[in-house]
């Protein structure tokens, strides 16, 4: 019974903080600006394939969205803890009867909800392809799953970088640098000794996203993104714990 009470309290805290964070997104221009920019850029590449090349496919959309996410995710996460540190509200928040991991999870879930809603608007591309062509549902599912997993890992790492500074711009730059490095790793394999090439390749976003985009759901790819997500959330939580000490 005591375990049930604790679990209920924990979920209640996370739910309350999650609603607060999500409301903060949509009460400011941030959500609307980043969503609009992403949809315009992704839509442009999708329609270029459709009308200029004459291909009813989402391949280019998924490939370009990876790169857009390198900018998009840091823009979503940069304010999550940096803004609270700058305003002093973080010091007040950590005095409440909530744990560090609850704070971190609530903010991460809010960022993931915004990313998921944004991707949801792109389903119109899929319906367009269904009407005009014959898409491989497996590759489409893998492409969306890859973006969500990348978004989850990127949001967790972005949350950590946001915990390091009071400046949102600095938080954005730090998160962008981390995600861009992970995005570019597989492009540097020609300059890396073969003895560590496999390790570097495994650490890159591209290697795992390529597998998922082919409709191949491999546990190694899932483990990679889940591990990055857990690591980012743990680092952010530890950073908050240091502030309580």
- What's the whole-model pTM score? 0.88
Q: Quote the domain boundaries for residue 182.
A: 2-244
If one counts the domains in the chain, the total is 1
pLDDT value of residue 201: 85
Question: In this structure, is the dihedral angle defined by the CA atoms of residues 174, 180, 183 and 184, taken in order, positive or negative?
Answer: negative
pLDDT value of residue 226: 96
Residue 158 has pLDDT above 90, yes or no: yes
Q: Which of 25-29, 109-113, 125-129, 240-244 is modeled with the greatest confidence?
A: 109-113
pLDDT value of residue 181: 93
pLDDT value of residue 135: 75
Residue 172 has pLDDT above 60, yes or no: yes
- Contact between 206 and 187 (Cβ < 8 Å): yes
- Mean pLDDT over each residue of the chain, to the nearest integer: 85
* 3-state DSSP helix/strand/coil % of the chain, to nearest 5: 85, 0, 15
Which of the four pLDDT bands, split at 50, 70 and 90, describes residue 244?
low
Overall residue count recorded for the chain in this entry: 245
Residue 159 has pLDDT above 90, yes or no: yes
pLDDT digits (tens, 9 = 90+) for 211-225: 898 888 889 999 999
Residue 169 has pLDDT above 60, yes or no: yes
For residues 44 and 109, the model is more confident at: 109
pLDDT digits (tens, 9 = 90+) for 46-98: 777 666 665 667 788 888 899 999 999 999 999 888 887 777 776 666 667 78
Cβ contacts of 41-47, under 8 Å, gap ≥ 24: 41/68, 42/68, 42/122, 42/125, 43/122, 43/125, 46/122, 46/125
DSSP string, 80-139: TTHHHHHHTHHHHHTTSS--HHHHHHHHHHHHHHHHHHHHHHTHHHHHHHHHHS---HHH
Q: Which residues, at least 6 apart from 154, have a Cβ–Cβ distance to it below 8 Å?
A: 69, 70, 73, 74, 77, 175, 179
Task: Give me the mean pLDDT over the 225-237 stretch.
Answer: 95
């Amino acid at each position: 019974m005591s375990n049930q009470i604790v679990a209920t309290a924990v979920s209640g805290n996370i739910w309350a903080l999650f609603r607060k964070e999500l409301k903060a997104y949509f009460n400011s221009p941030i959500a609307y600006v980043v969503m609009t920019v992403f949809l315009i850029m992704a839509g442009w590449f999708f329609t270029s394939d459709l009308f200029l090349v004459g291909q009813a496919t989402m391949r280019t959309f998924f490939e370009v969205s990876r790169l857009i996410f390198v900018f998009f995710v840091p823009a979503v996460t940069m304010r999550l803890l940096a803004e609270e540190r700058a305003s002093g509200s973080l010091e007040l928040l950590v005095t409440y009867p909530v744990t560090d991991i609850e704070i971190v999870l609530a903010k991460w879930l809010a960022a993931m909800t915004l990313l998921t809603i944004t991707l949801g608007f792109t389903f119109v591309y899929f319906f367009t392809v269904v009407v005009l062509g014959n898409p491989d549902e497996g590759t489409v599912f893998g492409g969306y799953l890859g973006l969500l997993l990348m978004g989850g890992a990127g949001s967790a790492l972005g949350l950590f970088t946001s915990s390091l500074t009071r400046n949102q711009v600095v938080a954005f730059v730090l998160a962008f640098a981390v995600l861009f490095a992970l995005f570019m790793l597989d492009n540097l394999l020609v300059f890396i000794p073969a003895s560590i090439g496999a390790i570097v390749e495994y650490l890159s976003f591209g290697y795992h996203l390529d597998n998922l985009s082919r409709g191949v759901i491999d546990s190694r790819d899932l483990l990679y993104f889940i591990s990055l997500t857990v690591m980012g959330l743990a680092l952010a939580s530890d950073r908050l714990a240091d502030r309580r000490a």
